[in-house]
A = this chain, B = another copy of it.
Amino acid sequence: MTSLRVLGVDPGLTRCGVGVVDVARDRSAALVHVGVVRSDVELPIERRLATIAAGLRAVIAEHQPHVVAVERVFAQHNRSTVMGTAQASGIALLVAAESGLDAATHTPSEVKAAITGYGSAEKLQVQTMVARVLRLDSLPQPADAADALALAICHAWRRGVGGPASSSGTAALTPAQRAWADAERLARR
């Protein structure tokens, strides 16, 4: 393949960000699709999850990504919604597997580090860099889907699309992050 097509998923029950990018061997990236899969807060939880699953399956069917990258959810974040976010992330991973695709998870700080070189970057910095990387005229819209694009770009760069890009793909990582990346690679062999 000349480029890697990645679907990034920023999981959420009410709004689930999705971004599809093509990343070439030289690390350049092109926007394929960006959007949000929504579920109605009035629906029972099982129907909401089914809506998310159907929306993600539609994106995969239309854009045929090679791999799915999902933001890793942590228990300590934002307690009131974290369980719904975790469930939505599980749905994204399941839909990937049932579509015959590999999946991977990345933490928010891994994504920020990969995109901006700085693991604690502000949202606007990430959006600005995503727009620059994808050569967009303005910030990605909707704004909350920019994270999904960042995740997709991060995944391709960290996995090292192409040969010489491999090392630079993890160059922005701290030693701890690099150790994590190595451990993750080993775990997924």
Contacts and interface: CB of A to CB of B under 8 A. Distances in A.
A155 to B, nearest CB: 14
Contact of A91 (B44, B47, B68, B90): B90
A46 B56 CA distance: 14
A98 B188 CA distance: 30
Nearest to A93: B46
A55 to B, nearest CB: 13
Nearest to A45: B93
B86 A53 contact: no
Interface string A100-130: 0011010000000000000000000000000
Contacts of A173: none
Interface residues of A, number: 31
B188 A97 contact: no
A161 interface: no
A46 B88 contact: no
Contacts of A188: 44
B97 A46 contact: yes
A180 interface: no
Interface stretch (A17-25, A30-38, A72-80): A72-80
A49 interface: yes
Contact of A93 (B49, B68, B82, B93): B49
Nearest to A81: B75
A83 interface: yes
